[in-house]
Amino acid sequence: MATLEKGSKKLLNAWAFYDWANSVYTLTIASSIFPLFYSSLFKSKTELVSAFGFEMKQTVLIEIITAFTFLVVAISSPILSGISDYIGNKKNFMKFFCYLGGFGCVGLYFFDLNFIHISILFYFMGLIGYWGSLVFYNSYLPDIAFPEQQDGISAKGFSMGYIGSVLLLILNLAMVMKPEWFGFDIGLTEEDKNTASIKAMKTSFITVGIWWVLFSQYSFYWLPKGTSKGHKVTKAVLFNGLKELRGVWKQLKQNSRLKRYLYAFFVFSMAVQTIMLMAVYFGEKVILWTSEGEKTIGLIGSILVIQLVAILGAILTSRASSKFGNINTLIVVNFIWMCLCIYAYFMETPFQFYIAASIVGLVMGGVQALGRSTYSKFLPETDDTTSYFSFYDVAEKIGIVIGMIIFAIVDHHRSMRDAILFLFVFFLIGIILLFRVPKTNN
């Protein structure tokens, strides 16, 4: 296989295509069908779940496991990225997490409250596989694209992810709503139909795992192995990643623009990711749906709207950043997120939820793509991109851990409405910190 040159169209497209492969996880499992499947396992919205020796709200269990998963990723990613940088083979680590996540998705087919701990393990595997692979995927960006290409290809990656995941979700939605079309026995009673729909939901988890692993092969074929150094891993190498993070932190002291941007990113990403992870759980619990059918169609339909609008959002944000600058555009996007938190607190009807979903889609694609490319553009000249992106990912993951823990605490003691409103504070702080990012490095 010939090595593609940096900036070549085929290499850029191969990198972006991994978004097509892995985004089905975030859409089908993290954002739509799994939350609906999970809620269907309980007789009522207030029924508690027993796990790890405690009884807690259904949503609190997911919030805690999600926070724990991101904590594991935050701790392990610098160690693994340090090893990958040392031996010069980041692609193998990216593959490992991809296959781990795909296996976890397939394992969710067997999710059962009677075996809650092994079931949660499969959920954990899917989540850690997705986010673990992103550590290495994101670190490829400055390796495969020149600075002037990074905004565009980052936005293209997210757009391809939205399109691919929407296509699979439409198929999965058809399976859930019309299970008889796909060979599921719906029986005669309403209970039989619900059972068939639940089987279709479980089968959709298998389709996600297969899609993710299958389509990632194109990216793995063309992406470079890494900067080959021929080193072997020893005990001394295990903590190289942590040492490199300390080195990155020291270098940040001389790069005030990147350092201040990271402060802002840490805060607003905390809120964005928490909302995205809990949006369907929020809609399932607080919106006044008239029937189970309306809830299923409404929630999944809203997620589809978010994905489709997010394509437009990513493109518009990329163009706005070219005209007004990355930081100014991020300030506006964060202001919109801040307003959404207030709006969500008062939502009650499905129509109000659809409006919120449309606006979320517009700003979701923009803040993700622009957040990643802004960091990439602010990086100093260096061959050690993995360590810098490891630092970026650790900041993001620790932020999510804090965001999910705060959300879980407020949800447990008060309500999900209060929890979503509390995130308003993080967007406000994020805006203030973005104003403090200098236009040039000092």
Write down the domain spans for the chain: 9-435
Predicted local distance difference test score (pLDDT) of residue 241: 63
Predicted local distance difference test score (pLDDT) of residue 1: 53
Residues 101 and 11: their CA atoms lie apart, in Å, by 24
Number of other residues whose CB lies within 10 A of the CB of residue 318:
24
Question: pLDDT tens digits for 320-369?
Answer: 888 888 888 899 999 999 999 999 999 989 999 989 988 888 888 778 77
Question: pLDDT tens digits for 223-240?
Answer: 887 655 555 555 555 666
Question: pLDDT tens digits for 41-94?
Answer: 887 766 778 888 888 888 888 889 988 988 988 888 777 766 766 666 788 889
Which of 114-128, 248-262, 287-301 holds the top average pLDDT?
114-128
Instruction: Answer yes or no: is pLDDT of 111 > 80.
Output: yes
Q: How many CA atoms lie within 13 A of 45 on its CB side?
A: 12
Which of 107-116, 217-226, 284-293 holds the top average pLDDT?
107-116
Predicted local distance difference test score (pLDDT) of residue 153: 85
Instruction: Answer yes or no: is pLDDT of 430 > 70.
Output: yes
Decide which of 189 and 320 is more confident: 320
Predicted local distance difference test score (pLDDT) of residue 441: 60
Number of other residues whose CB lies within 10 A of the CB of residue 298:
21
Predicted local distance difference test score (pLDDT) of residue 384: 64
Predicted local distance difference test score (pLDDT) of residue 233: 56
- List, in order, residues 6 or more apart from 122 with CB less than 8 Å away: 104, 105, 107, 108, 110, 111
- List, in order, residues 6 or more apart from 329 with CB less than 8 Å away: 317, 320, 321, 366, 370
Question: pLDDT tens digits for 365-381?
Answer: 778 778 877 887 888 77
Predicted local distance difference test score (pLDDT) of residue 208: 96
- List, in order, residues 6 or more apart from 83 with CB less than 8 Å away: 93, 233, 237, 238, 240, 241
The overall average pLDDT reported for the chain is 83
Q: What does the pLDDT average to over 246-269?
A: 82
Instruction: Answer yes or no: is pLDDT of 442 > 70.
Output: no
User: Which pLDDT band, with edges at 50, 70 and 90, does 440 fall under?
Assistant: low
**What proportion of the chain, given as a percentage, has pLDDT over 70?**
90
Question: Could you tell me how far CA 180 lies from the centroid of its own chain?
Answer: 32
Fold for 9-435, please state it. Answer: Growth Hormone; Chain: A; (1.20.1250)
Predicted local distance difference test score (pLDDT) of residue 30: 82
